[in-house]
Structures are given as C-alpha cells and as structure tokens.
Structure 1
C-alpha cells in the first residue's frame, strides 16, 4: 500500500491560530480534521467560516459543532445550558470542560451544580476557532474533562466593523456592534451586545442581557499577546420544567408555569491575559485571568409541600453565590532528538483559586428570600502539573506519552459547624496514545488514559457520608480517520469510560450528588464532505450505553444517560449572492430512573437559514428554529412533586418543551 508522509504538528494545537496547511495535508472546508492533524479520531477543530453560517438559538449552541454534543435549556435564557455527550446527562457542565481564551468556564463547588458552565455571555460572531477533544487521553486537560473538552479562541481583530440587528417572534430583539482599530503598537477590538427576549412562555421570560468586550492585542501567529476585559449582566423570568399531569389535566398549558416567580439574575466580569512567543528552546505560552461572578436563582421543582399543601409556591428555593476566581496556566514547548527520533515535548503548570462568599441554599417564596437552609464560605485551590512527549518512531508510527499530577485543597466554613472543615487530595493521571499510518490516506488511533472530576467541596466536609474530593476516570478509545474518498473527511471511534463515582442530577433539589461507580461505552461516526466549493455536508452519528457497575435494588441504569445522537448539516456558501444552512439534530429516548421502567421521548429539531447579500457591506439572514414545529421536549426528568389537591408527592414525568417554530431576521452591515 502507498504510504503518505506524516503531517508535522505542534505538541498543543488547541491554542494555535488556524493554519492554512498542516504539514503536507491541506486543510479543507470548515474543519481542521484532516489526516495528520490530531492524536485521536475524536479530536478536531472548527473554524470561523462554519460558525458564521449556522444559526444558533442560544449562544452555547456553538458547542454543538463538537460531534455528538447536545445543548438544551430548561430554566430561562440566563441560566447555564443543559449538555449531553457520550452517554452523559452533563447537567450544566460536570464532565465536559470548556475554556475561552484559556479561561476555565466550569465552576466547581457552585450554588446550582458542580461544574456549572454558563456560556450565555459568549458572542458567536467573535469566535475564531473551537478545538475539541473527548476522553481522558490528553495531559493538558484536567478537571471536568473526562467526557471531553472544548477550547474556544476569540478573534483579535475584525476585517471590518460589524453591526447586526435582529428581530424575531416573541419579543426577541438583539443588537451587536463590533469593530477593531489598529493602534501604533497593536489592535483594539471592542464589541457590545444587547438582547431582549420574552420567548413563547405564557409568563414572558423578559430576558434582559447586556454584554461587552474590550481587547488589546499585539503580534500574530507564534508571537502574540492579548489583554481582554469582559462584562456581562442578565436577568430573567424562568418557566421551569412542569409535571406532565399538570399539562394533561389542563392546570397549565404546555408553555405555562406553576410558579411564575421563578427566575434569576447573574453577572460576570473578567480580565485575562493570553500570550505566547518563541524563545531559544521553542514556544512559551502563558495565560492569567481574574473573574468575578454573581448568581441569584429562584426555582421551584416540587411546588406545594406538607407544611403548606394549599400553596403552590411553598417549595421555592433560592441558590445564590458571589465568586472570585484567579488563575494561570503556562507551558513550554520544544523539540528534541531522543535516540535519533524526533520528539515534540511540552511541560505545563495550571493553578486556580476560587473564593465563594457566601455560597448558599435559601428558602424562598414569590421570588424573595425567606430563610436560610445552608450557607457556606469556601476557598478552593487547585494545581495541575503535566508533561507530554510525542515521538515519531517510524514514518508510520507515532506515540504520545503524557503524565498529569493534580492537587486540590478546600476550606469550608459552614453555617452548620459540624459541616465545616478542610479537605485535600492528590491524583496522578498517565496517558498514552499510538497513531499508526497513514496508509491509503487513512490513519489509526489507540488512546488510553486516566482523568478525574472534582466533587463539590461542601460534600467532602459534611459530618455524614462525605464524598472524596477527586474521583478517577479511566478511558480507552480505538479509532480511525480517512480521506480515501475525495472531498470526504471521515472518522470512526469506539470508546469506553469508567468513573469511580457518578454525579447525578437531583431534580427536586436542583443539585448534583455523588452516586455509584459507572461504565459507559459507545461508537461515533463523523463525516464532513465538501461536494463543491459552495456546498458541504456534515453527518455525525453516535450511540452509547451507560450503566452503574455496582448493583442496587433500584436498578443499574443511569438516569438521563443519552443513548443515541444524530446530526445532519447542509451548508451553502456564496452561491452567487445566496448562502444558507440546514441543520437537523436528533437525540433519542433515555432512561429516567434506574430500572429503565420510565423513559424519555426522543427529540428531533431542524434549524434553517437563508441569506442574501445585497452588497459586500450588507446582507440579510432569515433563520427558522424548530422548522417542522415539533412538540418535543428539551429535557425530561422523573421525580415526585405535589400539585394543589395532592395529598402527597406524586411521581411524574417533568418536562420542559422545546420552543415552537420561531422566526428571526438579521440585517448585517459592515463598516
């Protein structure tokens, strides 16, 4: 068989600008997923050209470019989204790590759930590139990355100023202005966004969002530095999940709320530095960040309770926190000859300090705090040190050997003295990947490694049934990537992941708790086909199985574990003055309780965009969401709730519907 020379790549492509070539392999289309560009079949990158063509109902839906990842919502446009990937109901983050310009988005020991990842402040027009990985095989990735990780890089400059004005149904309004200006020593980028949305809900969401970014950058490519300030504020009313019996009995409509006082307010401010430059040894990278965030979230999942059976709002609670985060990451990359074999090396250090004061769960009614259930002040510190070497042993054989060591320490000062204390833990995580080929434009991958996720620090110091601070994961993946068909990039991967303890969402408390050990396995098939210079097709299919590995009387299924995902995309680029995109996504039924006797329904959604360019400086896009007006659900849970007239809690399916067919029109002007 004919042998193709291997492509040259850096040791850490996730933070690089998108090149036009990767060694001898020309990058085609909107993905940098060609043969020779990655260390695993499930690793890849998305470029800005595809991001610009696809409509998004919510900012975090840019993460759906990660094959197999589903982004939904169940509680208002200012709350972090719900994520699904590789047999996980990831709740609001848990085992999927997300970064923007090196800043971690996942929040440990969070008021609403471990690993909370709020992406509502992201402006999709400013995303330059998304690099994604799956599985615990990469030394750079630490906490929350067992299922996968995405690293988003924003643009340093814009070729022209942008003014976007969007109007849509249900009171949707959005305005974005962004531009960059060359200065004597660098470039200044600014962007401002204002959004209002009522949504289809009987009680209007009244989302009000203000968002701003200011960025100064110097240099480009391997020698660049950027300093970025961001600020974001949002407030909203939320229509949370409602019991199916309430809809079927006519108590509320499909888009109704049982407690209209649910809602929230959040804010986020950050300052970050990101730099890299070449030196005598290779390339040095450094980033540092400071984040201040606040959240007040009012939810009611059980409605009435034993104390007030005639009060539908008696079970409302408030989750609130005020958080400061400071952190940094640095790495040195260099190339050596080891025994006559070329080796790319990297050594890195990551450190982070979170301070929450206070962090609490409170009784509430009518959107007002009425009492304290639990309140803590927490300081949490984490340090990760990693090293990785990629060695080209033969033209057809490359190995990547990595080792990561992590240490976590937390101090919890609880209002309940018995639950106060200190905790610490350390963990080492080895990684190994083998890349064989390419032969006939096809390469093969063997990936294995261990990783971890952290638990909420408050759960590690409680007097009764404390949980471990760090929980190990073990992963294995076999895959291939091929370009044997002209114009087609295709990858196939079988994977397995074991967790020492599962984080499970508790619907009636709005939190996650540690549960039994688990095992997941599945298969993914991803395809990107460039039919012509103006037409591209994308097809991603994934199937998985998830089980608790420790038997229990209630059963061994993992509630919410997604089993089947499919996504089909058709993109039309610059067909004369026309452009457009069609996206169909499907996520299938899943168990809602451990014995699998109650399962969710499936969800199928289609998005479509038709765009026309009047001139180089003016275009119009018409986006339709839920094109076929499906009456599916974004999420489903099964737990006990109590409606007025119920003598006790009733086990029921709780749903949050997808939004009906929605039209939005955007006029974009360049200046």
Structure 2
C-alpha cells in the first residue's frame, strides 16, 4: 500500500509540470509510447500512458520529430519555454503492413485492422471470419448464433471462446441451448472499428470461456460521416442501414452517433426462412476534462426466423427430400437483446490511470429444433422448445501504472469486477409444431455470480518482455428446480473458485523479429444444472496451454507468424441443453500449428492467409475410440485485394475446412469444403457501390455437420449417419451507399 501511495503521489507531481501532450486527432485519446526526437535529433524520449512527455532542451529553437506506427510523422517547432504547454494531434495513416510493429503489444489488433480496411464486412458472420484461425458454421436459419471452431475445438456456440463487444461479455452462461452461447447479431458490422483477439488462455483480463481464445469487437467512438446504405440480392435478401453523426463539436472533445439496420432474407431453402432482424445502436463520448473521459452506449436488436434444420444424408440420397428440403418444417425461433454500457477513464498522472466499465443486458431467447425426428415420439415427433429469459449486469475496474526501474520499464495492471445473471426462465420442452406443449423436460430459475480479480506485471528490459500474472475467479450458483416439488423453497446452491496463473515471455532480436513463449491456465464454467446436480464435480474445468512462435517482418511488405501450441483440458463437454443430460467426456489433449501470412507487395495489392492444423484426442479412452467429434483438423482462410483505377477495388476470399471425425471411433467423417466469395466495389468521396458474389463457383458443400442417431417416420429402426445443413449456393448481393 505504501508503494502504491508513494508512486501515485509522485505521478501527481509530474503531472503538474509544464509538458507537451500527444493525442489522436480523431478521438482525442492520449497516444502512449510515441517516439519524440529532440536536441536537433541527437536525443529522444517516449510519451507516457497519458500522452505526455518531458525533455531537456538546453537551447532554442528546436524541432521535435514525433513518430508512432499508424500515424503521420509530425515536425513540431519550439521557440521558447511557453511552447511546451501545448497538445500535438497526430493524424492516422491508412494502415499498411509496413506500419505494423511485430514487437508492439497491439500487433494482433493491428493485423486485423489491416484486414478490415482491405476487405470490409457487412454481416455478423463476416466479423467472426476476420479472426485468424476462427471458423464458423450456421445451421438454424440465420438467426441462431454461429457454431465456432478454433484450435481443435468444436466450441459449439462459445463454450471455449470468450466473445466480447467493447469489453462487454457476449457469452451467456447456463444458456438454454448451450453453455457460453454467443450471439453477435446485435452488432452492426459497419460500427466495428477493430477486432482484438488472442489464442490460448494467456491474458489476465480474460476469464470464463477463455480456453481456445478470446475475441473483442471494438466499435467506433465517432463517425467522420453520416451514411445511408441499401442492399439487395438473391433469395429476396434486403438490407437497409443508416448511420447518423448527431454530435461532433469542433474541438473534438465530444461526439455522438446512432446507427440502425433492417435485414430480411428468405434464404435458399424450400421453407422460407423469413429471417427478420432489426438493430439499433447509439454511442456518446466526451472528454470531461483533459484527464477524464466518459462514454455511454446503447444497443438493441430483435430477430425471428424459420429453419430447415439438420437433415439426414440418407434422406437426400433416397430422394425423400432434396438438399434444400426439411424433415420438420416448423423449426426456427426468435431472440432479442438490449444492452446499456458506460465507460469511464481517469488519467491520474503520466504513469497512472483508472478504467471503469459497468453494463447491463436484458436477454430473451426462444428456439424450436428437431434433431432426431421420430426417434423418441413415434406419433408427434421429437421437436423441442428451448426458452431463456434473464437480466445480466456487471462491472470491472482496472488500474494501470507505469514504473521506471534501472534496468527497464514496468507496467502494473490490476483489476476487479463481477458479473451476475438473474435467470427468470430456463426451459426445455417437448412440443408439437411449436403450438402444442407435450411435456416439460426441464424448468428452472436461478442466479449465477462471478467475482474476479487479476494482477500482473509487464517488465521490459533490454530485448526481453516478461509478463507474469494471476487471475482468481469465484462463482456462486443458485438454482430452483420448478419441477421438483420436494425441493427447499430457497432452492440449492454451490460455490467454486478457479485460480489461473499466466507467464509469458518475448524476445526481440531486432525490430523485425520477435520470439515468444506463452503459458497459462484458463477455464470454462459449467452449466448451473450440472453444478447443482453434481456438486463439487468439475464445476470449472480448467485448461493448461502453451504457445511457442515467432513474428517475422523480413521486409516491409511481408509479415509471417508461425506458432506451435499445446493444450490439455480437464473436461471436454458440459450440459447438453438439447437433451437435458450431462455428457462429461473426460480429459483431452490438443496440439497443433498455426501459420499467418500478410503480404503487401504494392500499396494497392494485399494478400493474407491463415493455415491451421490441430490434433485432438481424449486421453482416457482406448486408441481408436479417442477421437473428439467435430474437432477441426485442417482449416485455412485467406483473401486477396486489388485497388485499381480510381476508386475500384476487387477482392476474393476463400475458406477451407478439411474432413474431420464426426464420432469417437472415426467411422463417420464430415465432408471437406472449399468456398470462394468475390467482391467488387467502387468508392467515391460521397458515394459508392458494391457487388458481392457468394460461393462464386457454386460448389455443393455442407456448412454444419453432425453424426446423429435419427429415425424418419416410415423407418422401423433408427440410423446413425451424417446430418447436415446445406451451405448457401451461388448468390449475388448488390449495394449502394451515400455519405453526408
């Protein structure tokens, strides 16, 4: 405590000195670690976390040369002592591969920033596809959250991938359909400024579900222009987008905008999807003082859809239906989510700052699915209804301090926070054609609370960066089973604690080569219905993982990032919401390799590619029976973009998912696919147009694939075979926009 107070007071004294500040010209945020050359270029300093710097110039006049990756160089003339008490604003450069520093902490987000600039997105699915190594699948009519694949995990809808928007968790704990369910459809893609991501569990500020990795989508603070966009295309697809800059004062200290979109599509299936979605988003920002920043944002969305479901391969082979047909035409659902979020930043001194966030979500979900058809109920069929209704709220406060030591620089980062899910509806029902309730299989209410704290150091000494950290999570589970008449009125409760140490190293042999070794433990929480039924039994299954790799920048136009990784997991599966059963499958082990390539030989020509291999096995099962179903083995994504003439841009992107085991003994395998999309756009200062061609070569592919035991109406016995949702065929979408 004494050290904390003394260093904080010292920071206050420094803050009172006259000095220059460096800030971003767009959002007015301080720019840390900018290089300032002074004394006619013979000496230099770096800006602090608050953007300030001081220097000892013994003679005037002098010209400061200020540089930071991603910004235009500034030359600032100083003629007297009074010139020190000013603010210098840096303008963004169009981010190029040459501007990315391999040894900078923002390397990963800088890479995705380049990808976003070169190949913009216009759907929530496109956002997820921008994360290197992350693969997705949609299998329920467009409105259901995507299935996620990363580092040998079929992470279902988020069980082992932490998904966030502006730091607010998207994953839903103890969800009606799947643990960690992450529905990103409330995000308007044009509001996303950048994507922060990390693979593995090496990050002190990432907790629940951060085993395979995390993704954080960061929205714009301000708009440069208002915009209206109209889109339409195959399968009666329509989209209207409006983004309106409603406050942007001349000083740049405050700004506000709202965005709204409407989506509709029938889809390619025989049963019209009738996919409707409405999104609204608003954000207000203000620098209250030079050192105090405040932000408030709001979003809401509502969607409904029909789904063709997952169809058995044999039903298509036997001519019962075609690829675009369905066995149960009444599948589908509806969902909504409303979010409020506030952020506050206080810069205490050049070396100290506090960041605080508070958020609230109201969530509702209603899904009708039929995976087995007439396996259980020969008369009515096996359709189920899953409903979820809850209020979620949470907060986090983070303290950051820069400390200068004799042999380098230290950054201390500490934080505390909590999340509480107040679950008022969590049901699994057996229904007939949505309308008739046949049986309540599960019906519970409850609360789930996560208290967390973390602290770590980032020590830079010479060419080394060493980052030890520790995270502690405490969970409190309370559940009331409405179907258990003998249960106590207060229900049942349980608690669990997970301690997650992290230790990361990096070594920069030069500005263009950085080796790294990351190690750490992560975890995912288990469903409240499992926890209460099995108190003390793997409530918070942990992972242990390590990464070893190198970032190479051999010349300005090329970045290569090969990585080897390893991970073991204490327990593979959690509660299966579709059947109301527990399927723990024991310990597992994964290892693999990632390779990322970013190549920009010309300023107007850009190419990226990511290749991923993983080997996933249960370690307690017999050899040959130890395959982890649906774990991806080989995946690859990439794109090429060419800006030509004046305002024209042509881009093509691909995604490849190799064949993989669909069942533990590998007797059923999924089918590989390779799909290409094309985009041609024309952009002027005030308006533009684009043409998007999906599945350019009209390949026949299966998007979501499972090995499932099913029984059709006229079959005497059940059959376990491949069930799938057909991937979209060739389709065209056109759009025009106008800026004002």
Query: How high is the TM-score relative to the length of structure 1?
Result: 0.92
Check 1:490–1:52 CA distance in 2 against 1; reply closer, same or farther (3 A cut): closer
**Aligned pairs (5 A) from 1:254-269:** 254-269=323-338
- 1-structure distance, mates of 2:217, 2:559: 22
Distance in 1 between the 2:575 and 2:628 partners?
A: 10
Q: What's the CA shift string for 1:640-666, capped at 9, x where partnerless?
A: 101011122211110111100110001
Residues 517 and 556 from structure 1, CA distance in 2 versus in 1: closer, same or farther, beyond 3 angstroms?
Answer: same
Contact conserved, 2:303 with 2:336, CA < 8 A, in 1?
yes
Deviation at 1:404, TM superposition (A): 0.5
Question: Does the aligned pair in 2 maintain the 1:453–1:470 contact within 8 Å?
Answer: yes
Number of the residue aligned with 1:333: 400
1:15 aligns to what?
Answer: none
Query: 1:121 maps to which residue?
Result: 186
Do the aligned residues in 2 keep the contact of 1:299 with 1:318 (CA within 8 Å)? yes
In 1: Cα distance, 2:231 partner to 2:581 partner? 35
CA distance in 2, matches of 1:98, 1:385: 19
Between the two proteins, the alignment pairs up a number of residues equal to: 654
Counterpart for residue 157 of structure 1:
222
1:304 paired with 2:374, answer: yes
Describe the SS at the equivalent of 2:554. Answer: coil
Structure 1 position 31, deviation (Å): 9.8
Map 1:445-456 onto structure 2 (within 5 A). Answer: 445-456=516-527
Instruction: Name the counterpart of 2:156.
Output: 91
Please state if 1:586 is matched with 2:673.
no
Q: Is the 8 A contact 1:113 1:510 kept in 2?
A: no
What is the DSSP-based 3-state SS (H/G/I as helix, E as strand, rest coil) of the residue aligned with 2:129?
A: helix
Aligned equivalent of 1:559, options 629, 647, 662: 629
1:367 maps to which residue? 434
Runs of 4+ off more than 6 Å: 5-12
Q: SS of 1:60's equivalent?
A: helix
Match of 1:200 among 259, 268, 275: 268
Larger CA Rg, structure 1 vs 2: 2
SS in 2 for 1:62: helix
Query: Which residue does 2:39 correspond to in 1?
Result: none
In structure 2, the partner of 1:415 is 482
Residue 284 (structure 1) shift? 1.2
Aligned positions of 1:207-606 closer than 5 A: 207-219=275-287, 224-280=293-349, 281-308=351-378, 311=379, 314-338=381-405, 340-370=407-437, 371-394=439-462, 396-417=463-484, 421-439=492-510, 441-462=512-533, 467-503=537-573, 509=579, 513-552=583-622, 555-573=625-643, 575-606=645-676
Find the aligned partners of 2:550 and 2:643 in 1 and give their Cα distance. 29
Is 1:104 aligned with 2:174? no
Indicate the SS of the match to 2:418: strand
- What is the rounded CA distance, in whole Å, between the counterparts of 2:575 and 2:696 in structure 1? 31
More deviation in 328-337 or 45-54? 45-54
State the TM-score, normalized to the length of structure 2: 0.84
SS, match of residue 277 in structure 1: strand
Shift of 1:416: 3.8
Equivalent in 647, 653, 661 of residue 716 of structure 2:
647
- Secondary structure in structure 2 of the residue aligned to 1:279: strand
Moved more, 176-185 or 82-91: 176-185
Residue 504 of structure 1, CA deviation: 6.5
- Aligned pairs for 1:130-145 within 5 A: 130-145=195-210
Name the CA shift for 1:32/1:599 in 2 (closer, same or farther; >3 Å).
farther
Deviations 1:241-295 (A, max 9, x none): 1000111111111011111111101011111012223113512111110000100
Contact 2:174 2:180 (C-alpha < 8 Å) held by counterparts: yes
More contact order relative to length (CA 8 Å, sep ≥ 6) = 1
Contact kept in structure 2, 1:89 and 1:561, CA below 8 Å: yes
Give, in angstroms, the shift of residue 603 of structure 1.
1.5
Q: Which 10-residue stretch deviates more, 103-112 or 527-536?
A: 527-536
- Distance in 2, matches of 1:32 and 1:297, equals 46
Distance change in 2, residues 1:391/1:554 (3 Å): same
Deviations 1:133-160 (Å, cap 9, x if unpaired)? 1111111110101101011110121111
Would you say the 8 A contact 1:455–1:514 is kept in 2? no
- Structure 1 residue 511 displacement after superposition: 8.2
Would the alpha carbon gap of residues 451 and 7 (structure 1) be closer, same or farther in structure 2, given more than 3 Å must change? farther
d(CA) in 2 for partners of 1:183 and 1:21?
Answer: 22
**What secondary structure, in the 3-state scheme, does the structure 1 residue paired with 2:330 have?**
coil
Structure 1 alignment gaps of length 5 or more: 13-17
Query: For the residues of structure 2 that align with 1:191 and 1:116, how far apart are their CA atoms?
Result: 25
Q: In 1, distance between residues paired with 2:363 and 2:98?
A: 33
CA contact under 8 A between 2:428 and 2:577: conserved in structure 1? no
RMSD (Å), alpha carbons = 2.8
Q: CA deviation at 1:611?
A: 0.9
Cα separation, 2, equivalents of 1:484 and 1:48: 20
SS in 2 for 1:454: coil
Cα deviation 1:425-481 (Å, max 9, x = unaligned): 111111111111133721100111111110101101116x97422111101110100
Matched residue, 1:187: 255
